[in-house]
Every structure is written in C-alpha cells, then in structure tokens.
Structure 1
Amino acid sequence: MELKKMSIVAQFRMNLVKILVSTILTSVLTYVLAVFVFLFAEGTGSIYPENYYEQQIPEIEEYLQRQQKSGMSAVQQEELNKLVQGEDFFYQAVDRQGKFLYGTYEETIFFSEEEMYEKINTTAKVGNHYVYIVPVIDSAGKIDGAVALVYGLRLSVVNSGKAWISIALFCVLSCPFFYMILFTALFSRRFAGNLTKPLRMLEEGARQIERKNLNFEISYAADNELGQLCRAFSSMQEELKKSLSRQWKMEQERTETVEALAHDLKSPLSIIKAYTEAMEDDTEIDQEQSAYLSVIEENIEKSISLVKQMQYTSEITSPDIHIDQNQVDLREFLWKKQKDYEIQAREKQISIQLVFSETLPARIETDKKKLERILDNVVSNSIAYTPLGGRIEIRAEADEECIFYFIEDTGKGFTLKDMEKAMEKFYRGDEARSSEGAHSGLGLYIVWRLSQVLGGSVEIGNRESGGAWVKVWHRWK
C-alpha cells in the first residue's frame, strides 16, 4: 500500500512496527554471529570455557600429593602462584587449624578447624564462586593443612591482551538498544520527510500569497490528511484568485472612471477660467461683479488642483508605476526644499528648521520627483495647519537601508479618527486640523502610496508638547 494512501496515524504505526521488527531481526542475527565468533575464539584459545579453571584442579592436586610426606612446609607459594592463574581463579593456603597462611584469596573461608575437616575433598559455593579443598598430609599421615581453590564457572578471556572480547560481549548484549536508536532515526527521518514535503509547499504558498502572487501550484496529491489539507489550500487559492480578480477589475474600472471624469472636467473648467479672466480683462464690470468673478476664479483653481490630484492618484495606484532611479545629493536637495517651504510659510510667519543626522549619507539612489512630491505634501499640510508664528522642524536620519524624515509642527495635532483613516483616499480630518481652504483628502494617501513605491511607508502621531508629527521613510540603496 502506498504511503500517500495511508493516514498519518497509520503511517506512524507502520513505522513503529518496522522499527521493532528491524530491531528484533538484527539483534537475533547479531547474537547468532556472536555465538559463532565466541565458539571460534574458544577453539583458538582466545576464550576459556566455563569449566576451564575446574579442569586445572587435577594438576594442582597432583602437585600437592607430591608434597604429602613433607607437609605444608614443602608447598611453595611461588609454585602455587604459577599453577593458579586466571582472572577468576584464586587459592588460599591454611594451616591445620584452618587459619590463613598465604594466597591470592584473602577472605576467610574456614571459621574453625572442624569446618575445614568437614569440607576437605569437597566442593562448596561461596558467594559467586566455588571452593574445592585439597588437604596436605605430613610424614605422619596427618593433615598438616589445606589449599582452598576458588574459581568461577563462566566464560573468561585468556589474558588482558584479549580485552576486546569483554567489550564485544558488552556490545552484543546492548545491541538491541543501539539498533532501536538507529532504526528510529532512519524510519523517523523518512516519516518526517513525508510530512515536511507538503508542509513546505504550503509554507511557500503562504509566502506567495503574502507577496500577492497567486500564480503558483501545490503539486501534492495524496488520500491522507495532508492531501486533504493541500486540496483545501488550493481551493482557497482559487477562490482568493477569483475574489482578487473581481476586486482588481472593480478597482480598475473605478480608476478608469476617475481618470475619465478628471479628463472630462479639465476642459470645461479651463473654459470657465478663460471666460472669467476675459470678463475681468475685457468687460466693464462693477466692484460687486468683480468680487463674484474672483470667487469663481478661486474655486475654479481649487477644482483644477483637485482634478490634477485625482489624475495623479490614478497614476500612482497603477501596479505598473514607473520608478526613475537616479543619484541625489540629499543634503543639497533638502536645503533647496527648505528655501521653497520658507517662501510658502512667510505669510504666516512660520519658521522652518532643517536638521541633519550624522548618519545621513551624502548621496542616495532614489526617485527624486516622487521624494519631492512626498515632502511637498507633508510640509504643505503642516504649513496649512500650523498657526501664525508657529514652527515646523524637518529632521533627516538614516540607517543601513532607509532614510527617515520626521516633520513636526506646532498645530493642533491629529484626532484618534485621523490616526485610523488619514491614509485613506478622500479622508478629510477637518475636525482637528481645520483650514480655511478646502482640500481633497488625498495628500497623505499620496504620501503613503509613494513611500510604498520607494520601499518604505509613513506613520503619524502627536507630540507630547502639542502639535503633530509625520514620519516618512524609504530605501536609499
């Protein structure tokens, strides 16, 4: 059965069974191989059999029998040390009272003379070892002492040079744990790969949607939960694409309507303006009629300005807006703009201050016209809403990626409603930042849109000491 047709729970259980079965089979195989290796090693003398030390006892008995007529004094410690050798083979020589004389096993075996006599020529178990007692007879035929041979019944290596066998035994016994870890890592990696592949596709799809790109495909087909999730994601993508297409079409139609309306308004407004100017210049009119014509001309100018802003807004809303990147001497550019703003602010006696940060680069790469439009809109609004004798500060700073402009004024500041809606088209926050002249409500929207085009954005807020601040930034390289 293909994995893609199995549920995730079933895949998990199957992998668990695979891990257990693989561990058992490899462990059994390892044990079988280990038995053959140990049998071969035993045959070549690398390993002592379990009864190896027990097989040495007759030779030692023969040596002790040769000393029968001389008693314990004839039994040489050096000779016993040669005969009794091994990792688990010891001896203890005792006198006729069962007291310790010498030997490689120093623990007490006999607690009385009677106990020693009872155990002569017998094998007893002491702890994990066996003890065989060999008597030593003197010339008078009496027991002059005994030699207790202490040995273990288990596999043992021939010498310390074969210590690898002990290590091999440990590895063989613990191999199931190693196999369990190994197969868990192998099968879980494959299982995780089956899970992460579609999840990565979904993650990449989410990133594409975030970038407003819906022309991608989730190429994963399965009958399990992940397949269902991918199909649901693809369905959502298609519905989103349809919805955005409808929205884009509506936005396109609205933009075209605004452009057409602005274009159609431009001609009659220009004609009205021309006739108004002609009446003022070529016709004899009284003072009252002149005042009427001035009001008409003033409002025509405002209408023409609004039409131009509407046209410009339609242009910058287009997804194919052109960016004319060029080198700009930023300090010189800002100094020149300050002089222009001072002329605009002279009538209201507003001071314009310009502050540069030390981090500000000398030259930057940006669209100069769009940057100029951003600053003009922000500073013009500040001039309009700053009272007589007020102050406006323009501060420019930079980091490794962006240029930041902080424009602060001493006006009334923004309301909470302004904070939420100031970047929307045609929003007019007259409640808090009122001005005598009408305005389109497109100024900050244009600033926000152009800032995005240049790789930045805009924020607004109020100063603690009163007045508003606008923070604009864009990328500079």
Structure 2
Amino acid sequence: MKTVRIRTFTIICLLLMFILPWTFFVASHYMENRTFRLSESRSHEQKVQQQLDEMIGRIEAGTESWIDPAWQRELKDKLQAVEMDAVLLSASGEELFRSDPDRRGTSSSTERFSIIVNGELHGKAIIYLPSSNMSLILSIFAGLILAFFVMGAAMRRLLLKPLEKMSVAARQIAEGDWDVELPRSGITEISEVRDGFAVMVKGLQNSFQKQAQLEKERRFVISAVAHDLRTPLFALRGYLDGLEQGIARSPEQISKYVAVCKQKSEQLGLLVEDLFTFTKLDYLEAKLSMEEVDVKLVMERAVDSLRPLAEHNQMVINSQLAGPCMISGDAHLLERAMNNLLDNAVRHTPSGGAIEVRCSQDNDRVVFEIRDAGSGFSTEDLERAFEPLYRGETSRSRATGGSGLGLTISQRIIRRHGGDLTAANHPEGGAILRGWFPVRHPGNALGLIETALDGDRV
C-alpha cells in the first residue's frame, strides 16, 4: 500500500485550502463576466463606480423634482438599467421616492449621502449597488467549506479511524484476545506504528505461548518427579523398616537389605543430580564458564569413566578420536553431556556388544557420534527422544531407562555451546547419536555462544 508522510499530507491539506476557494472564485468570476481575466473584474468595478457617480449627479441636479412623477419614472428607468435601487428622504426623514417598493432590506452594498442646498439640509439619498461582489465572497466561502469537509474526511479515514481501531485492538489484546485485525493507513507514520504494533503483538503471543508451554512442562516435571521419587523412597523405607523390625536376621539377609537400600539411595542421588542440572540449564539460565576445551580429551575422560561398567557387562568401547578439537565451552557441563550419552549407549547395548565413539574436526565444526549395538529407536522414540522425563522402554523401569533427563540435558548443553545433537538409527542396527560444536575462533567465540544461549531459552 502506497503511503505518504504526515508532513506531506499536511502540505496537501494547506494547498487544498488555498486551491478550492480560488477555484470557486475563478468559476464565479467566469459565470459573472464570461472570462477568466481578472482585469475584467477591476473594469467592472470602475464601471459601477462611474454609474454610481452618474446617479448621484442626477439626484443632486434634480433636487427640485424629487416629488415630480415624471422625473421619478425617468430616475427609476435609469436605476433599473444599471441594476441599482434608490430611496429619497426629506430633511425630516419622510420617504419621497423608492424605486423598488418591495425592497426593505438587502445584503448588497449601499451608498448613503445627504443633499445640501444653500447651506441647508434638503434631504437624504440611499443607493443600493449591484450584488456582484457578494457572489464572489460567497463563492470563496463555499470553497473554504468544501476544503474543510474534504480535509476532515481524509483525516478521519487516514488518521483517526486507524488510531481508534488500534486502540480497540490494544484493549482486545489486554483481555487475552490475540486474533485482532490491525487497520491499514495511507499515512506512513501510522503505517509504521501499525507494523510495529503487529510485531509487538506477535512477540507477545509467542511469549505467552512459550510461557504456557513452560508452565505445562513445569507441571509435568513436578508430577513426574513426584512419581519417580516415590518409588525408590517407598522401597528404601520398606527395607529400612525390615532392618529396624528385625525381619532380616541372618547376615546374608541384612547384607541384601543394605545393598538394596544403597542401590535405591544411589538412584535417588542420580535423579536429584539430573533434576538439578536440568533446572540449572532450563530455568536458572546460568552463565557458562567459558574456557578453551578439547572435545577429544572430554570424550576420552567420559570413555575411561564408563569403561569399567562396560567391561563388567562384557561390552567393548571402540574409540576413534582425532584431535585436537578445540572449542570454547564449560568443561564440566561438556563432560556431563558426554557421560550421559555414553551411559545411554551402555544401558541399551546387550552383553557382548560393541560401542563406537568417534570425534574429529570437519572444517569449522567439531563433529562426534556415539553408536550402540542395541535395538535402536522406535518411531515414537525418535520423535520424543529429547523430551524431558521420556523413557522409551515399555516397562519404563528406572533400572534400564534412567531418569529420562539424560538425552535432554545433553542436547541442551550442546545447544548452549552453539551446536546441536540429533538421534537416528544406524543402517546396520543400533542407535546413533550425532552432534557438533562450532570450532573456537579467537574474537568471535563468545558471540557464537551468546547467540546459542538466546536461541535455546524457553
């Protein structure tokens, strides 16, 4: 839609206020004189003045004949010829002659003068002039009225109505109605305000939706955590009550009860630690402790920490780590992310299987992948793998499924560092997790991380 600046609109209105009255004046002048030449108006005025002087001279010369009917008829014919009227009054104010008896008032111009004879007041005369000047004045006034009407209509359509509609839209939005129609205007400033208002509405709507989603996720996390904490706590309480009441009497039973209590307390510890990390990343939006980190060394430490568990389950971890792979990041969080990914691979790999771990630099990225030898992801798992508290096993047992936060935490840590993490199934079987980080470049690493932080916040 084509628009004009408000100052241009104001200039157009001022020009309209000048042009319309002038147009009406010229049209009236043409209808009066059949010419567009304004000099004819001046000559017309000179002619009227000449005729007026002639009438005044005739009246002054015929003072003795004012009551003569013949002289009065002659004067009346002369007045009608020049479109004038006259009234003659005696010295005492008595009316002696009126050329038009029906004329008792007029809006046209008049000339009033007294007749002095031999030093004494003989009478008074009133001459009514033609009303041509009044028609010109009326035409100018009509032009001004039309100009004000056109300007008012334009201001109403282009300025007032759009502002009124935006005011109504603002009240609708305040009441929670996002489905508002914003008006368009031919004024550039109003159009810019409208566009800015539309951007604000879109931002508020997105913010409201994100807040609603965050609230929904918060409630889900609370309910899921309450459920997940209740199970090991119930078991822990049961075994402790058994020890307290002496149900376990033999050393073997006592040892078994203690082992179960230790296992449940470890599960509670892992769950609390995962929840703390999840909350720290997603709700507290904590600042990352940025430093130069070699992803290769981080993955080596993660592999070394899980290798005993893998060997205990008769698994093999094959690592192909080419380095160095330098990035800017938080070493502690990065190691936590890699531990979660490897722990997930160990839990889903059957006894005797192999886990493949790779890391290398590819142009301006550090890429890595972890492949297990399990059954892979189902269709639903691929869609919800990084959803908080989602565990893909049908049994949803914590013994095999973990806290349901491991992959979520890993993905969000990696995204906080400017990269990403995806899940897929390997063509030869098993699940594969692929991720990448931006390579550290002096000077712009902090900007990349800040951009990733802003884009990942809910």
* Structure-2-length-normalised TM-score: 0.47
* Structure-1-length-normalised TM-score: 0.45
